[in-house]
């Protein structure tokens, strides 16, 4: 089993080009199976989750191949609507293939993605919405069997109880080829939703309102292939910024999506780092000790503070001057990284959805285990700032979302290697 060995205390300096967004690439790959032609996707990050998505595409009869950071998906030869359980279980977001398969073949059999590292992640909103669009859904020995009797879904007015990213994506995917108009109220406003819609529009879909709470999709019988560049990953950007803030130094992120990263930057700025932004660029300088963030850091749907950046910022604040308070409002179990941070000397108290982080003078190295993707990245952030050496095991979690993290950090002067 591989691990990351990190020796802290070295400032990070240099320029880093931000990888493509995992959470955009995954639904876009699913959407590419609806095009009945070839799609070329650029800035596709090389991640284990992306390869899992390509295995699903190949399994249903598409041809998905990679060349560097570009993927080609040919969906002319789809011949299967059932996704085997082992492929579904490889990643939670495989559920996004449900809307895409329904939109293209009118039926699919998938598995309940089940609980994951972040706690139970129900799909009740996905299923209720698809039912409103004419999909018959039944459960057969743990498998979800979906069928549209007429072969084509119909438009519907859907109001989500919570702006779920995955449910919004599944509804959009099913709606683009549905008969009539679909309106999604209280839709998720995450930038990755806009990226998915941008891709679908490039394939001929008619969608308006993405990025706002009310999305309108006018169904259309057929889509076509296209060439599309995936947006940069705002959470990878937040992670490398947190590393530099914690370890000290200065970094220029190129290829960054600035407005989309703003909810994170506006909080990070309160730690005393100097941050400047330009077109697709973020500059950060961290010289002295970080200051705690005075206002409560509440994770919220976009444009609120992103839950995916909660752990990495917490790691940076673990050795700041003063006390920072986090409130996790999106997932029930998103503080699992705190035990590892405490093992590294952090003073963190978790009380339900609140975590109280009292900045300590210095963290120290320890042997820790990645608990989940962002939690594992948080351990790397803490390790780069800590005194001594940290070994992080179970890094398959980290590899799900960060493209060659050790190469990116070593190029900035960090002492990190994969062993
Ligand atoms: N929820 C329900 N019922 C549903 C759907 C969601 O109760 O039918 C709940 C979830 O259990 C959770 C909350 O609603 O408590 C938010 O879930 P959402 O559906 O918005 O999240 P998701 O689509 O499962 C995506 C990202 C996550 C990111 C969240 C929130 C992908 C592949 N995943 O998950 O990314 O945290 O949105 O922004 O896009 C990560 O990258 O580390 C990651 C976990």
Ligand 1 atom with the smallest distance to the CA of 49 is 32
Q: At 114, is the pLDDT very low, low, confident or very high (cuts 50, 70, 90)? A: low
Distance 253 CA to ligand 1 centre (A): 26
Q: What is the mean pLDDT of residues 80-84?
A: 93
Q: Answer yes or no: are the C-beta atoms of 177 and 219 closer than 8 Å.
A: yes
Q: Answer yes or no: are the C-beta atoms of 26 and 373 closer than 8 Å.
A: no
Task: Give residue 118's pLDDT.
Answer: 73
Q: What is the mean pLDDT of residues 310-326?
A: 98
Model pTM score: 0.97
Task: Give residue 115's pLDDT.
Answer: 54
Q: What is the mean pLDDT of residues 275-294?
A: 96
Q: Answer yes or no: are the C-beta atoms of 336 and 379 closer than 8 Å.
A: no
Tokens of 144: 């979800």
Q: Answer yes or no: are the C-beta atoms of 301 and 188 closer than 8 Å.
A: yes
With 60 as the cut, is the pLDDT of residue 194 above it? Answer: yes
Distance 382 CA to ligand 1 centre (A): 25
Distance 165 CA to ligand 1 centre (A): 6
Q: At 288, is the pLDDT very low, low, confident or very high (cuts 50, 70, 90)? A: confident
* Strand 181-185 with 157-159, pairing: parallel
Task: Give residue 199's pLDDT.
Answer: 98
Enumerate the β-bridge partners of residue 42: 229
Task: Give residue 116's pLDDT.
Answer: 63
Residue 110 and residue 98: Cα distance in Å, rounded? Answer: 7
Task: Identify the burial level of 178 via C-beta atoms within 10 angstroms of its C-beta, where 0-12 means exposed, 13-18 middle and 19 or more buried.
Answer: buried
Substitution site in 164, 311, 372, 376 for ligand 1 pocket (most atoms within 8 Å of beta carbon) = 164
Q: What is the mean pLDDT of residues 335-339?
A: 97
Q: What is the mean pLDDT of residues 102-115?
A: 86
Cβ–ligand 1 contact at 196 (below 6 Å): no
Task: Give residue 226's pLDDT.
Answer: 98
Q: What is the mean pLDDT of residues 179-190?
A: 98
Q: What is the mean pLDDT of residues 300-325?
A: 98
With 80 as the cut, is the pLDDT of residue 113 above it? Answer: no
With 60 as the cut, is the pLDDT of residue 209 above it? Answer: yes
| Tens-digit pLDDT profile for residues 217-263 | 999 999 999 999 999 999 999 999 999 999 999 999 999 999 999 99
Q: Higher-confidence residue: 140 or 151?
A: 151
Q: At 140, is the pLDDT very low, low, confident or very high (cuts 50, 70, 90)? A: confident
Q: How far is CA 370 from CA 200, 205, 360, 392, 395, in A?
A: 35, 40, 22, 6, 6
Substitution site in 19, 20, 21, 23 for ligand 1 pocket (most atoms within 8 Å of beta carbon) = 23
Task: Give residue 166's pLDDT.
Answer: 96
SS3 content of the chain, % helix, strand, coil (to 5): 35, 30, 35
With 80 as the cut, is the pLDDT of residue 359 above it? Answer: yes
With 80 as the cut, is the pLDDT of residue 326 above it? Answer: yes
DSSP 394-411: -THHHHTT-TTHHHHHHH
Task: Give residue 20's pLDDT.
Answer: 98
Task: Give residue 148's pLDDT.
Answer: 97
Task: Give residue 369's pLDDT.
Answer: 97
Task: Give residue 117's pLDDT.
Answer: 73
116 is catalytic: yes
Q: At 89, is the pLDDT very low, low, confident or very high (cuts 50, 70, 90)? A: confident
| Of the listed ranges 22-26, 116-120, 400-404, the one predicted with least confidence | 116-120
With 70 as the cut, is the pLDDT of residue 295 above it? Answer: yes
With 70 as the cut, is the pLDDT of residue 37 above it? Answer: yes
């Amino acid at each position: 089993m591989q691990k990351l060995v990190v020796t802290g205390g070295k400032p990070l300096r240099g320029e880093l080009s931000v990888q493509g967004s995992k959470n955009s690439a995954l639904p876009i790959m699913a959407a590419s199976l609806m095009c009945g032609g070839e799609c070329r996707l650029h800035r596709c990050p090389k991640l284990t989750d992306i390869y899992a998505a390509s295995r699903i595409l190949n399994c249903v009869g598409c041809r998905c191949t990679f060349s560097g950071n570009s993927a080609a998906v040919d969906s002319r030869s789809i011949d299967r609507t059932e996704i085997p359980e082992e492929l579904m279980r490889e990643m939670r977001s495989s559920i996004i293939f449900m809307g895409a398969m329904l939109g293209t073949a009118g039926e699919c059999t998938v598995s309940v993605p089940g609980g994951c590292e972040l706690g139970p992640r129900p799909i009740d909103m996905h299923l209720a919405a698809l039912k409103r669009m004419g999909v018959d859904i039944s459960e057969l020995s743990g498998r979800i069997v979906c069928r549209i009797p007429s072969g084509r879904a119909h438009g519907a007015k859907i109001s989500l109880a919570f702006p779920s990213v995955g449910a919004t994506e599944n509804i959009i995917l099913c709606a683009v080829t549905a008969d009539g108009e679909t309106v999604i109220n209280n839709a998720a406003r995450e930038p990755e939703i806009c990226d998915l819609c941008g891709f679908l529009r490039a394939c001929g879909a008619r969608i308006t309102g993405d990025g706002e709470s009310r999305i309108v999709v006018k169904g259309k019988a057929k889509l076509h292939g296209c060439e599309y560049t995936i947006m940069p990953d705002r959470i990878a950007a937040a992670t490398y910024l947190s590393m530099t803030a914690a370890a000290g130094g200065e970094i220029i992120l190129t290829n960054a999506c600035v407005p989309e990263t703003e909810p994170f930057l506006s909080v990070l700025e309160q730690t005393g780092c100097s941050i400047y932004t330009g077109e697709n660029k973020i500059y950060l300088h961290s010289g002295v000790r970080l200051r705690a963030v005075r206002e409560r850091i509440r994770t919220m749907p976009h444009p609120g503070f992103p839950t995916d950046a909660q752990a990495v910022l917490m790691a940076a604040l673990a050795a700041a001057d003063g006390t920072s308070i986090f409130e996790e409002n999106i997932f029930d179990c998103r503080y699992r990284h705190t035990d590892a941070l405490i093992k590294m000397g952090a003073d963190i108290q978790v009380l339900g959805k609140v975590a109280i982080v009292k900045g300590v003078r210095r963290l120290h190295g320890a042997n820790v285990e990645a608990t989940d993707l962002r939690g594992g990245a948080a351990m790397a952030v803490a390790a780069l700032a800590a005194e001594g050496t940290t070994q992080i095991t179970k890094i398959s979690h980290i590899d799900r979302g960060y493209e060659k993290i050790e190469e990116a950090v070593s190029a900035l002067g960090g002492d990190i290697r994969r062993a």
